[in-house]
């Protein structure tokens, strides 16, 4: 397959989590570059609104990535209609913010189901058709939390490390089939997930949105559309691990050089954030009081 000079022209792309944030921005950037985009999301109405704002190159479909059979259905319907899926962007994700001593079992399950199983189900549903055609590109959205020590949201960190690992393994395996695999590792991007997102949550009581936003501002959040444009450029170059904004690469480098130093840095950052949150009156939720059904299928 020729990926240049117009690597995305007339490509068929399926983007999970396409109703919001990075997924919506990837959809916009793909359509701008001539691709036909299907935005697949649990939030159908929002995905439809985003698709309408993009124009005739975009459409929306309801998909809960935790449902393997539903993923298969969406993929087969798209394959029946368009004959191929050139790009699968496994991007849907949620987080549960809070230290692990605040966690209940659902805080693990909800995040693993979306962030890890959702990616695996996407691969199960679409990869075989790419193998048959001998081409395609799978792009999984992980995170810097999948490359570096990152405390304060353990289930998220665990799933993002897993997504980086499975993406590297799949990239090596898929090469012989002509299928490419990349993993996106965003730093901090300005999207609703920073406020908990629709299906995620924060195990903290008494934290105002303004205070939370202040905490994130320190990490200089990148605009989602700028992220998407940079990410697509790197995907077109077939980069394996895509870190954006680029300055986060310094932290990744440090982590590889000395995991101990990485942990020490994040340890002191966590101490600072903990002290600030305490001073602002925010209180960690106890595991017993944490909701057990938010983000579940019900
Ligand atoms: N924003 C950041 O700073 C940042 C940093 C690193 C990684 N990421 C990752 O980027 C991806 C996109 O996140 P975002 O920042 O755009 O957040 P977001 O909350 O704006 O978007 C997430 C989307 O995923 C959808 N979604 C959630 N659960 C789903 C499910 N079960 N099935 C289908 N769709 C579902 C939501 O409806 C939403 O549209 C996630 O995987 C996230 O972990 C984000």
Q: Average pLDDT for residues 11-38, to the nearest whole number? A: 98
**Residue 93: pLDDT band with limits 50, 70, 90:** very high
pLDDT of residue 289: 56
Which residues fall within 8 angstroms of residue 88, CB to CB, at 6 or more apart? Answer: 13, 14, 122, 123, 126, 127, 130, 136, 137, 138, 139
Spatial CA neighbour of 66 closest among 107, 114, 19: 114
pLDDT of residue 123: 99
Residue 181: inside a domain: yes
Spatial CA neighbour of 61 closest among 43, 76, 79, 36: 43
Residue 204: inside a domain: yes
Q: Domain holding 149: CATH number?
A: 3.40.50.720
Residues 120-175: pLDDT tens digits?
A: 999 999 999 999 999 999 999 999 999 999 999 999 999 999 999 999 999 999 99
For the Cβ of 220 lying below 6 angstroms from any atom of ligand 1, the answer is no
What percentage of residues in the chain have a pLDDT greater than 90?
83
Q: Average pLDDT for residues 184-202, to the nearest whole number? A: 95
pLDDT of residue 4: 56
Q: Average pLDDT for residues 33-62, to the nearest whole number? A: 98
Residue 44: inside a domain: yes
Q: Average pLDDT for residues 209-220, to the nearest whole number? A: 87
**Residue 220: pLDDT band with limits 50, 70, 90:** very high
Q: Average pLDDT for residues 80-88, to the nearest whole number? A: 97
Helix/strand/coil percent split, the chain, to 5: 55, 15, 30
Residue 78: inside a domain: yes
Domain residues for the domain of 113 are 12-245+258-286
Which whole-number Å values give the CA distances from 92 to 18, 26, 52, in the listed order?
A: 7, 12, 20
User: How far is the C-alpha of 259 from the C-alpha of 137, rounded, in Å?
Assistant: 31
For the Cβ of 89 lying below 6 angstroms from any atom of ligand 1, the answer is no
Tell me which residues are annotated as active site: 156
Residue 37: inside a domain: yes
Closest residue by CA, ligand 1 atom 23: 17
For the Cβ of 222 lying below 6 angstroms from any atom of ligand 1, the answer is no
Alpha carbon 201 to its chain centroid, in Å, reads 16
Would you say residue 271 has pLDDT above 60? Answer: yes
Number of domains in the chain: 1
Q: Average pLDDT for residues 6-35, to the nearest whole number? A: 98
Would you say residue 54 has pLDDT above 90? Answer: yes
Kindly give the interhelix angle for 154-174 and 118-133, rounded to the nearest 10 degrees.
10
Residue 252: inside a domain: no
More confident residue, 36 or 204: 36
Instruction: Give the number of the atom of ligand 1 that is nearest the alpha carbon of residue 142.
Output: 7
User: How far is the C-alpha of 244 from the C-alpha of 111, rounded, in Å?
Assistant: 23
Which residues fall within 8 angstroms of residue 72, CB to CB, at 6 or more apart? Answer: 124, 125
Which residues fall within 8 angstroms of residue 217, CB to CB, at 6 or more apart? Answer: none
Residue 298: inside a domain: no
Q: Average pLDDT for residues 178-203, to the nearest whole number? A: 95
Structure tokens at 252: 């990744």
Residue 114: inside a domain: yes
Half-sphere exposure of 234 (CA within 13 A, CB side): 22
């Amino acid at each position: 397959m020729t990926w240049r000079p117009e690597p995305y022209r007339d490509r068929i792309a399926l983007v999970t989590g396409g109703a919001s944030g990075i997924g919506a921005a990837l959809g916009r950037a793909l359509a701008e570059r001539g691709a036909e985009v299907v935005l697949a999301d649990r939030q159908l109405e929002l995905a439809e609104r985003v698709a309408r704002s993009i124009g005739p190159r975009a459409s929306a479909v309801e998909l809960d990535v935790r449902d393997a059979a539903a993923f298969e259905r969406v993929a087969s319907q798209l394959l029946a209609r368009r004959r191929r899926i050139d790009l699968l962007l496994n991007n849907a994700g949620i987080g549960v913010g809070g230290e692990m001593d605040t966690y209940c079992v659902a805080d693990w399950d909800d995040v693993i189901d979306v962030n890890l199983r959702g990616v695996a189900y996407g691969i199960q549903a679409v990869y075989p058709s790419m193998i048959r055609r001998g081409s395609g590109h799978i792009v999984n959205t992980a995170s810097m939390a999948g490359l570096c020590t990152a405390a304060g949201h353990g289930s998220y960190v665990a799933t993002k490390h897993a997504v980086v690992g499975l993406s590297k393994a799949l990239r090596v395996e898929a090469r012989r089939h002509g299928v490419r695999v990349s993993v996106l590792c965003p730093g901090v991007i300005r999207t609703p997930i920073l406020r908990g997102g629709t299906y995620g949550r924060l195990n903290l009581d008494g934290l105002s949105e303004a205070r939370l936003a202040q905490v994130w501002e320190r990490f200089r959040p990148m605009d989602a559309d700028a992220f998407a444009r940079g990410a697509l450029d790197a995907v077109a170059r077939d980069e394996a691990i895509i870190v954006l904004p680029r300055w986060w690469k310094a932290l990744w480098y440090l982590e590889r050089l000395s995991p101990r130093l990485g942990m020490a840095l994040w340890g002191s950052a966590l101490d600072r954030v903990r002290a600030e949150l305490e001073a602002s009156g925010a209180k960690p939720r106890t595991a017993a009081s944490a909701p057990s059904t938010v983000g579940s299928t019900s």
